[in-house]
Structure 1
Amino acid sequence: MRGRKILGRNLRQLRLAEGLSQERLAVRLGVTAARISEIERGNYASSVDSVERLAKALGVKIADLFDESGSLALPEERAPRKSEEGRLPRAKTKKRD
């Protein structure tokens, strides 16, 4: 798997575990939600500085963002929790025709 895809998959998993929307994370980082989406889809080549800021915003090590195992071991305190709006985060689903 390419590095961008690994970064994107792990970023999304960690963001959801924190109960953050793309918009909330973007505000923390001073970027747009569209940029977070691009990173999560593996369509943006993030700089080392950007990856460092992502890790800091999520409270993880840079290496965690590049974990290739496919399932990060999240401690209990990082288990999915309710968002600031009071709901559990939901993954987007594709609309059926």
Structure 2
Amino acid sequence: MDVHARVGLNVQRLRRERRFSQEELAFHSGLTRGYLSAIEAGQRNATLRILDKLTQALGVDISELFVRPPGDFPIEVPKSKKINNSAP
């Protein structure tokens, strides 16, 4: 998962845990609802200043935006066995 998606999912999770609508969080952080929506969707590259505004509005440390979201497990790709296509 790329960092934009991870931050977006964490912002969304923290917002919902606090029972804020996007409109409420946007108001408390000084952002527009559209900009917040794009961050949550992983479509915006939020600056540190924007992330700071969000963490202040959510009442969390900035590190909370970078933790692995619940259910985000790394996918292990099995190592493929080398196939010997040479004739016996």
* Cα deviations by residue, 1:33-55 (Å, 9 ceiling, x for unpaired): 11110000000000011111111
* Cα deviations by residue, 1:18-72 (Å, 9 ceiling, x for unpaired): 000000011111211111100000000000111111111101110101102x22x
1:22 alignment counterpart: 22
Please give the secondary structure, in 2, of the residue aligned with 1:39. Answer: helix
Alignment gaps of 5+ in structure 2: 71-88
Runs of 4+ in structure 1 over 6 Å off: none
Is the Cα contact below 8 Å between 2:39 and 2:46 reproduced in 1? yes
Aligned partner letter, 2:7:
L
1:82 alignment counterpart: none
Instruction: Give TM-score, length-normalised by structure 2.
Output: 0.76
Alignment gaps of 5+ in structure 1: 72-97
Instruction: Give TM-score, length-normalised by structure 1.
Output: 0.70
Give me the whole-angstrom Cα distance separating, in 2, the residues matched to 1:56 and 1:31: 13
The answer to whether 1:43 aligns with 2:39 is no
Please give the secondary structure, in 2, of the residue aligned with 1:20. Answer: coil
Residues paired across the two proteins, number: 70
Aligned ranges 1:1-97 → 2 under 5 Å: 1-68=1-68, 70-71=69-70
**Cα RMSD, aligned residues only:** 0.7
Structure number with bigger Rg = 2
Give me the whole-angstrom Cα distance separating, in 1, the residues matched to 2:38 and 2:62: 18
| Percentage identity across paired residues of the two chains | 34
